Amino acid sequence: MAATDEDSRLHYGDWIVIAGYFVAVIAVGILSSCRNRGSVGGYFLAGRSMHWIPVGASLFASNIGSGHFVGLAGSGAASGIGIAVFELNAIFILMILGWFFVPVYIAAGVFTMPEYLRKRFGGQRIRIYLSVLALILYVFTKISADLYSGAIFLTQAVPDLNLYGAIIILLAVAALFTIGGGLTAVIWTDFIQTVIMVVGAFILMIMGFIEVGGYNELEHRFFSAYPNTTIAHLGKNDNYSYTDCGIPTDKSYHLVRPADDDDLPWPGVFIGLTISSVWYWCSDQVIVQRALAAKNLSHAKAGCILAGYLKFLPMWLIVFPGMIARVLYPDDVACGDPAICQEVCDQDSCTNIAFPTLVLRLMPDGLRGLMLAVMMSALISSLTSIFNSSSTIFTMDIWRRIRTSATEVELMIVGRLCVVILVGVGVIWIPVVQSVTELFHYIQAITSFLAPPICAVYVLAVFWKRTNETGSFYGLMVGLVVGIIRFAWEYSYERYPCGEDYKSDKPDIISKVHYLHFGILLYGIVTIVTIVVSLLTPPIDDVHLQRLTYWNRFSTLKRVDLSEADASADTAEPMETPKPFQDDYDSLPWYRKACEWICGIEKMRGEEHKMTDAEMRALEEKQTSIHEQTFWRRFLNFNAVFLMTLAAFVWGFFA
């Protein structure tokens, strides 16, 4: 087993590199947290002052976690380059985010995605529903998946290390970044971690291609990279059940695959994946929050373009190294016999150990530590992003409904406590995630079961002003019921290891309808329900929709929020200007001062300047402006077209 070989154990030089990484990143996090600490806007949106470079790097780093290194490399080892379609598809969706969705969100002046729907539709049931659903998805898919992936790497790299001790340390560091500095610290540490990830993975890729003999040699050898257990039984009539396991398919070097392909059917990739991607990149709080932190719309667009260029990297830095690992270590990575795989990696399939195995066996002392730091930085980057965004949603969309008279200090403390709770739930959920097989496809399936309804509602909300709250709510409810039925139905059947026919006992709706195809059907159902119900119920008056759709984003007319027009009066509205802390700071004991410094609220004491109405209006106009300079608008448009053309060429080249 790769993780227990003496030559793959970490050298003292590796530990020095890891320690240096932590010191550097923690220092950056603490220094950056000294800015924008004393307000809700500063903590949750970095004061909307971020440059396009850290915004783009943070978009990329927030998406690329340890789950990608383990999952993408593992899928590459199992079935070739096809899994790269998820990365190439994201390039086009990032342009949709920057050019169609972000302008609306900025013009609307919102903190969170549920808050946008609150302004768009009024009422609370959609906002609360999406807030709770987002927290559930964060805890049980994103956090859990990253923890599981990080656990795989740590188990391979440091077999003598207590798994839960290591996970708790990583979670503690991630929580420290988020609790101490808010989004500013998260974005700047994301930037540093992105550099580390790209440099370390690039070095590994070069070493891998040199070891395997180059790109053409990799393509030639990949199709014959069988494990010995498979080769020993090929062509023999001994009723061995696993002769077809561990053999690459003839479609391994194709991005476009037949419509009946078990893994990546082309209709699902081009349509179903796009639906899930629009939900993730254009309406998910973790991602959109990064774009909203940009100082203006041009910087948000430029950040999306930078993230788009970075999305070319995973195919080369993660997928191809996974394939190289299969070629170099077929008996371990390409293990096809579940019984043997249990001995090698303690799982029914060992493709998930492709990237860790390549790192530990191929890289020299010191560089192993760098790559372990890369994995830890990827894990921390994803967790910090999720922690910060989850605390934002809980504080702004849920807690303010419970505590209508909460002060700004209370809101910021609650945001920190939310992070602590998420850490605890994430640790408790680790054993459950470890029991799941095919983690990557499991997560994508869950997305296809739950995301299409949300995607449909956001698309209709932004692009069709006739959409109303009643139609959206019933569309979401129908989509939720249908999605949960499919999810529960599919996973009620036993999961069989490779070599055993498990489709025969499933109905056609489960065995023959791929989860990406199901996402298309679900999106269509929700769209139809929302449109029909919206047309059968009263429309929303235009006075409530100014700057809330793509078509009127430049409107200068006064908007009357639906909450203000509601006869019942929204009790959360007073929270727009939370009460400041009144106690004398100098008279507090030292431990209270220390706690307030940790929570970032010490700057809020003693601030006597109160902004005038004119200053408030000027600040609001600046933060909600979507006007761009002509030169930069054209320059960014050209770059977006060039980027999408390049992505289409790569997709076509490997089609």
Asked whether the predicted pLDDT for residue 574 surpasses 50, the reply is no
Asked whether the predicted pLDDT for residue 560 surpasses 60, the reply is yes
Note the pLDDT of residue 435. Answer: 57
Note the pLDDT of residue 470. Answer: 94
Element (H, E) at 351: none
Note the pLDDT of residue 186. Answer: 55
- Is-contact 80 249, C-beta < 8 A? yes
Asked whether the predicted pLDDT for residue 586 surpasses 70, the reply is no
Asked whether the predicted pLDDT for residue 94 surpasses 70, the reply is yes
Q: What's the average model confidence in pLDDT over 256-276? A: 90
User: What is the DSSP-derived secondary structure letter of residue 6?
Assistant: G
- Is-contact 474 530, C-beta < 8 A? yes
- Encode 35-62: b = buried (16+ Cβ within 10 Å), e = exposed: bbbbbbbbbbbbbbbbebebbbbbbbbb
Asked whether the predicted pLDDT for residue 291 surpasses 60, the reply is yes
pLDDT in tens, 158-184: 766 666 666 776 676 666 655 555 445
Among 443-452, 475-484, 594-603, the range scoring the smallest mean pLDDT is 594-603
Q: What's the average model confidence in pLDDT over 213-224? A: 88
Note the pLDDT of residue 348. Answer: 66
| pLDDT band for position 150 (cuts 50, 70, 90) | confident
What is the rounded CA–CA span in Å between residue 302 and residue 313? Answer: 18
| pLDDT band for position 438 (cuts 50, 70, 90) | low
- Is-contact 382 290, C-beta < 8 A? no
Q: What's the average model confidence in pLDDT over 304-327? A: 92
Note the pLDDT of residue 457. Answer: 94
**Structure tokens belonging to residue 394:** 């809980």
Helices (H) and strands (E) in the chain, counts: 32, 0
| pLDDT band for position 577 (cuts 50, 70, 90) | very low
What is the rounded CA–CA span in Å between residue 551 and residue 547? Answer: 8
Note the pLDDT of residue 567. Answer: 42
What is the rounded CA–CA span in Å between residue 131 and residue 118? Answer: 11
258 vs 564, which has greater pLDDT?
258
pLDDT in tens, 411-425: 777 877 877 777 777
Q: What's the average model confidence in pLDDT over 355-375? A: 81
353 vs 154, which has greater pLDDT?
353
Half-sphere exposure of 32 (CA within 13 A, CB side): 27
375 vs 546, which has greater pLDDT?
546
Q: What's the average model confidence in pLDDT over 301-324? A: 93
- Is-contact 285 134, C-beta < 8 A? yes
Among 83-97, 104-118, 474-488, the range scoring the smallest mean pLDDT is 104-118
Asked whether the predicted pLDDT for residue 566 surpasses 70, the reply is no
620 vs 299, which has greater pLDDT?
299
| Cα 49 to Cα 52, 55, 119, 187, 628, distances in angstroms | 10, 10, 24, 11, 16
| pLDDT band for position 524 (cuts 50, 70, 90) | very high
Among 7-16, 144-153, 325-334, 427-436, the range scoring the smallest mean pLDDT is 427-436
What is the rounded CA–CA span in Å between residue 177 and residue 30? Answer: 8
Mean pLDDT of the chain: 77
Note the pLDDT of residue 521. Answer: 95
Asked whether the predicted pLDDT for residue 570 surpasses 90, the reply is no
What is the rounded CA–CA span in Å between residue 53 and residue 299? Answer: 8
Note the pLDDT of residue 229. Answer: 65
Note the pLDDT of residue 604. Answer: 47
Note the pLDDT of residue 275. Answer: 95
Q: Which amino acid is at 572?
A: A
| pLDDT band for position 105 (cuts 50, 70, 90) | very high
113 vs 597, which has greater pLDDT?
113
Range among 180-184, 268-272, 326-330 with highest mean pLDDT value: 268-272
| pLDDT band for position 592 (cuts 50, 70, 90) | low
User: Could you give the domains of the chain?
Assistant: 2-442+537-570+625-653 (1.20.1730.10)
pTM confidence score: 0.81
What is the rounded CA–CA span in Å between residue 65 and residue 42? Answer: 25
Note the pLDDT of residue 240. Answer: 42
Range among 21-30, 340-349, 351-360, 629-638 with highest mean pLDDT value: 629-638
